[in-house]
Amino acid sequence: MSETLDAYRIAAQPYYRCVADEVALFEAAYSVRMPMMLKGPTGCGKTRFVEYMAWKLSKPLITVACNEDMTASDLVGRYLLDANGTRWQDGPLAMAARHGAICYLDEVVEARQDTTVVIHPLTDNRRVLPLEKKGELIKAHPDFQIVISYNPGYQSLMKDLKQSTKQRFGALDFNYPDHAIEVEIVAHETGVQPDVADKLVGIAERARNLKGHGLDEGISTRMLIYAGSLIAQGVAVQAACRVALVRPITDDPDMRDALDAAVSTFF
């Protein structure tokens, strides 16, 4: 593998608590270089999982946070002007395909559909990436794999992946972990005592039941880790929960009261 990707290698083992058979399934998918889609709500461990898998497979990881302003050139590359004239610069997808990295497109549904289609030729058995502006066809390195994340909760008619894109991927479902596992994760990541982590997870579970009944999304594992980190810093529990769990997810005064009340029943 080329030195170009050294900066994208994951040096230390990321902490990842497996929840089912996702590690073995991903390894099998990687062994046949199957493009993979990680589906699930925000903050439930998808990014951490792909970091862990890249480390376990000893492959560099190039992550792209997708957004609606992203163009195909942002992924593939463009000519830049410098003192000596023009110079081609590979985008992250081209770099991963050329040198053999795992390319992780986070929240791919945020990208416009005309951007998303550039990944198609990399996801069928041609495994190529045409650089139209440069007149080059990159044949993907044998180590290259493409992984995308996708939050099914956000889908709408305007913002969804095309079937022709979806059907190019194998998919793994992610969700908030079971109670005991989530307690373990929150305690590990923040250093709070397990009984505190247990209560934080209890609050999140209450809030998750309100999804679709006034809340668009539940309290994620990531939010629990924020709350736990504040508590570990000495912030009072109620204030930490207000700042990290309640205020970010709703502006509705009644819903805020309901969630603050849930916090008070636990702490």
Which residues sit at the interface with ligand ADP, rule CB under 6 A?
Answer: 15-17, 19, 42-48, 177, 185, 189, 221-222, 225
Of the candidates 64, 56, 4, 6, the one whose C-alpha atom is nearest the C-alpha of residue 27 is 56
- To ligand ADP, the closest distance from the beta carbon of 100 in angstroms equals 23
Whole-angstrom Cα distance, residue 169 to residue 228? 35
- To ligand ADP, the closest distance from the beta carbon of 220 in angstroms equals 7
Say which DSSP state 171 is in: E
Question: Where would I find the beta strands (DSSP E) of 223-263?
Answer: none
- To ligand ADP, the closest distance from the beta carbon of 93 in angstroms equals 19
Whole-angstrom Cα distance, residue 164 to residue 144? 21
Query: In Å, how far are 29, 76, 102, 132, 181 from 242, measured between CA atoms?
Result: 41, 42, 38, 51, 24
Nearer to ligand ADP, 8 or 150 (CB): 150
- To ligand ADP, the closest distance from the beta carbon of 47 in angstroms equals 3
Q: Which residue is nearest to ligand ADP (CB)?
A: 45
- To ligand ADP, the closest distance from the beta carbon of 16 in angstroms equals 4
Nearer to ligand ADP, 13 or 89 (CB): 13
- To ligand ADP, the closest distance from the beta carbon of 9 in angstroms equals 19
Nearer to ligand ADP, 71 or 229 (CB): 229
* Contact (Cβ atoms closer than 8 angstroms) between residue 51 and residue 14: yes
Q: Exposed, middle or buried: residue 120 (CB in 10 Å: 0-12, 13-18, 19+)?
A: middle
Nearer to ligand ADP, 145 or 221 (CB): 221
Q: Quick count: other Cβ atoms within 10 Å of Cβ 114?
A: 9
* Contact (Cβ atoms closer than 8 angstroms) between residue 218 and residue 43: no
Nearer to ligand ADP, 77 or 228 (CB): 228
Q: How far is CA 203 from the centre of its chain?
A: 24
Nearer to ligand ADP, 8 or 174 (CB): 174
